[in-house]
Amino acid sequence: MTASHGLQRTVAGVALLVVYALATTVGPFSDVRVNDLYVYGVYAQLLHAGELPYVDFAFEYPPLAAIPIWLAGVPGLDDTTYAASFGVLMGLCLLAAQQLAAQLAGGGRAGVTAAWLLVATPVLIGASLRTHFDALPIAIALGGLLALSRERHALGFALLGVGTMTKLFPGLLAVVAIVWLAGRGEWRAALRGAAIFAALVVAISLPLAGAGYVDSFEFHLDRPVQIESTAASVLFALGGSDVTGTEPRPDRFKSNGLEGGHAETVEALFSLLLVVALGAIAWLATRRPDAQQLVLCGFAALLAFVTLGKVFSPQYVIWLAPFAALAWVWGRRAVALLTTAAIVLTQVEFPSRYFDLVDVQTDVVVIVAARNALLLVALVVLTRTLAALPPRGGSSYGGSGRLRQTAHTAGSSSCSIASARIGCEHCTSTPISQGSSSDVS
């Protein structure tokens, strides 16, 4: 990466902060009529009073989620001050995610392109960016993937562990990374990474372990199919299920779901589909040793989780945006466009039309179903593309696991050399020089 590229990425970062500050506070993308700030504010008051999550009060998130919730309350706990400080905190997390994604893209023009694509994130997603803490775990997860792509395995798995203890989804990326390393023949690194990840999760969990901690997991396992999920779209089509979390049918999950009718059967079917999909993605991760395969399989795992899981909260699209930008710069244009269209439809529905969905208005049900269908198609296209790539084992790795640089094949001038560690379907794995490889940690 040249100094010019670094400057362009910096300018893109400034542009992101400006767009974020404007788009999420004024105008059509600033709607916050449904948000989690009240819940965070209540938690923040309890934390600042010295109470412990899971021990002194019920807490529905992993332990490290308490840190941004507490931190945003340091300037003040009144509603206005808390919302402003939380928004600033999430803006900084979004900036970190942008810059990490740019580095993960491979540096150079690819990194600059990824950074500028992500400038549109506040417009595409809206104010959910500043009313939910999901920008923090996705930044941590991207940092973990970047470390893994640079052969810093211990750091990568430690970051994924921290991300998992902030919001659980980075755990999927850790599993993909473990099988990816095993597929490269680096069993020792895979086992060491799994041990680091598990040790960190246990070390963070143990001080708070108890009935309250177990209840936080049972909370998510017991909740019904959420009304914005793909399973819910199927249930709306089948009919016979009732919306929960309403006055006629209250529940304890602080959201709206579907119960009755075919709900249990559909939920079980989607759970099975999710397990099968994640298994297939894990297999795909073993087929090629380059870091691009790791990142795209991680993207596929997240797509599977949000489309086949029983909960699809609108803020989940925050996880997908950086991966869509990476997919674009790596030539997976269809996947990137499908994901972006789904993100746009999410904002069309949430928050302005969310209560219309609760009331089962047909047009909003169709919008959500179309969003879910787009992401399902993106998942299918991405996994089929990854499956179609020829397996590549020892051609880019020596017997000692050393990574060799890649060179472009003739006729692939449309590609830019992003990084020696980022693969490309237009590239061959021929060593430029025998002395240019770097040791794998």
Cβ(131)–Cβ(322) under 8 Å?
A: no
pLDDT at 52 over 70: yes
179 within domain boundaries: yes
Q: Which domain holds residue 280?
A: 3-388
Taking only the tens place, the pLDDT of each residue in 69-92 is: 999 999 999 999 999 999 999 999
Residue 361 included in any domain: yes
For the chain, what percent of residues have pLDDT higher than 70?
A: 89
> Could you tell me the pLDDT band of residue 2, with boundaries at 50, 70 and 90?
confident
**Confidence class of residue 1 from pLDDT cuts 50, 70 and 90?**
low
Residue 438's pLDDT is 31
Inform me whether the pLDDT recorded for 415 exceeds 90: no
Query: What would the DSSP string read from start to end of 374-422?
Result: HHHHHHHHHHHHHHHSPP--GGGB-TT-PBPPPEEPTT-TTS----TTS
- Total number of domains in the chain: 1
% of the chain exceeding 90 in pLDDT = 81
Looking at the domain assignment, is residue 340 inside a domain? yes
- Establish if 252 belongs to a structural domain: yes
Domain presence at residue 259: yes
Residue 182 lies in a domain: yes
Judge whether 378 lies within some domain.
yes
pLDDT of residue 436: 29
Grade residue 357 by pLDDT with cuts at 50, 70 and 90.
very high
- pTM for this entry: 0.88
Higher-pLDDT residue of 346 and 402 is 346
401 located within any domain = no
Res 102: pLDDT: 97
Using alpha carbons, select from 381, 434, 428 the residue that is nearest to residue 406: 428
- Per-residue CA distances from 275 to 113, 211, 304, 364, 375 (Å): 34, 28, 9, 29, 17
- pLDDT higher than 60, residue 417: no
* Mean pLDDT computed over every residue of the chain: 89
Pairing of strands 242-243, 257-259: antiparallel
The pLDDT value given to residue 15: 98
Task: Give residue-wise pLDDT tens across range 303-355.
Answer: 999 999 999 999 999 999 999 999 999 999 999 999 999 999 999 999 999 99
Q: Which of 177-181, 197-201, 237-241, 244-248 has the lowest mean pLDDT?
A: 244-248
- Which tens digits make up the pLDDT trace of 288-306? 999 999 999 999 999 999 9
Assess contact for 97 and 127: CB atoms under 8 A. Answer: no
62 versus 428: the higher-pLDDT residue is 62
**Distances from the Cα of 340 to the Cαs of 34, 78, 144, 327, in angstroms?**
22, 35, 24, 11
